[in-house]
Structure 1
């Protein structure tokens, strides 16, 4: 935060306009709210209805717009960027959060359509969104891109070939974009969350009450093996995203930051 004359405190993101994908729920919704709390105007882009996230931002005194957007569709991505410009007149921040789990199983048992859909959302999505937003990020003179990758993009994990491959791609895409665009004034960084207490893509909800409880029990058991010993809350990831958007991180670009309770520091995996 900075201080104005008279002692008034100004939040670090005042005047910013942020497009956040996957922001109808989970980590994306928490990021949208955190950016708005620090003064940014926010566009909630998601295939799901983002009205709830917008209502939360407005209730907290911020400004937000919801747009329907499948990040794997170039036309819908372009429309989301256009809607941002029409509503707020600018775009200087992009958070690529939208993602799907990609299912589970061994690679030779993985359905080709499931693989292609996971690549389309998790890797092509950030490409399309960044491609569409970049001219505006460059024009702003203070562009920021924050990619939400995963610890599964840093290490291998059982039964998750599509998810690991796509999140690993996001990690190195982040580094490559930093090389090309940081000299032009756009900083690009990534966050690799570990176990977070969210239901990505409604996976747990689709299992029914008993299956959902069992899935969450497995996640909590795995998280208990980490040094911190629990799952994260989405807000804990969001605070790091807000930091990366702010000027407090002014000398950071191409950084890949695990926010994982220490799970990538140890071999104590289930």
Structure 2
């Protein structure tokens, strides 16, 4: 990926950070975008410490003017854009729909679905110039119904079909658009466990690990295992793939989950 410029949203931690590192290791110049300034600066600095090229740009992907500025600063800094990774996301907590506040629903949709729309909206002219690639990070929750996650399931389902639709419209322009659907990944989205008392945090992690243990591979994924698939989809190795929805889930969507 020498000479290519990649923009990764939500790149201060988790899958986004691992993906930014993997792209830089492959030779790309990487823009680390995130709403978390301190963690984002740290992620970009870590890439540079390993010999890569990275720059942090603060951005709330749900805000049009911030996304417009993000793309403008990216192109001003590096001259062009080849790869967009729409990774930024929030979980929205756990409750049934009738228990969910309207504001909480709106925030999940704003970040998880409006965010990829806005980033794609401002990135696509640049990607068309370069016959570039977009990879959207969706979720297995965008493919199935899951307990107490109405907004998250709806938002990720939207990302899945937005991916297919963009592949249809922009394939003739030379832009490939694919998505990955991670399952249980060993990451703390939004630092939720970090905000819980230690006993509750441990219980939350135990529940997650227990759920992951019931899937065919019997464990959570490491963030690097997802990042490697994202980099594959962003590379020429996947040159005849577009509109593909790739599960990275340890087999959890391949079988009925026999909860004991």
TM-score (norm 1): 0.94
**1:224/1:116 CA distance change after superposition, 3 Å:** same
Residue equivalent to 2:240: 251
> Secondary structure of 2:232's partner?
helix
Q: Is the 8 A contact 1:69 1:80 kept in 2?
A: yes
The correspondence for 1:58, drawn from 27, 33, 48, is 48
Output aligned runs, 1:35-46, within 5 Å: 35-46=23-34
Q: C-alpha offsets along residues 215-264 of structure 1, whole Å, 9 cap, x if unaligned?
A: 11000000000100000010000000110111000000000000000000
- Aligned residues, how many? 257
Match of 2:172 in 1: 183
Residue 20 of structure 2 aligns with which residue? 32
Runs of 4+ in structure 1 over 4 Å off? none
- Distance in 2, matches of 1:155 and 1:182, equals 27
CA gap of 1:269–1:63, structure 2 versus 1, over 3 A, is: farther
- Alpha-carbon deviation of 1:269? 4.9
Does 2:117 match 1:143? Answer: no
State the alpha-carbon separation in 2 of the partners of residues 210 and 79 from structure 1.
42
Q: Does 1:114 align with 2:104?
A: yes
- Structure 2's unaligned 5+ residue stretches are none
For structure 1, the 5+ residue unaligned runs are 1-12
Q: Displacement of 1:183 after TM fit?
A: 1.1
Q: How many angstroms apart in 2 are the aligned matches of 1:30 and 1:40?
A: 14
| Matched residue, 1:96 | 86
* Partners of 1:132 and 1:255 in 2: CA distance: 22
Q: Is contact 1:17-1:88 (8 Å) kept?
A: yes
Per the alignment, residue 3 of structure 1 pairs with none
Partner of 2:185: 196
Q: Distance in 2 between matches of 1:269 and 1:32?
A: 36
User: 1:74: how far off?
Assistant: 0.4
Which of 28, 36, 39 is residue 48 of structure 1 equivalent to? 36
Q: Residues 152-231 of structure 1 correspond to what in structure 2 (within 5 A)? A: 152-231=141-220
Give a deviation string over 1:191-216, Cα, whole Å, max 9, x none.
Answer: 00000000111111111222111111
Say which SS state the counterpart of residue 99 (structure 1) adopts: coil
Calculate the TM-score normalised by the size of structure 2.
0.97
Residue 85, structure 1, aligned to residue 96, structure 2: no
Q: Does 1:240 align with 2:226?
A: no
2:11 is the alignment partner of 1:17: no
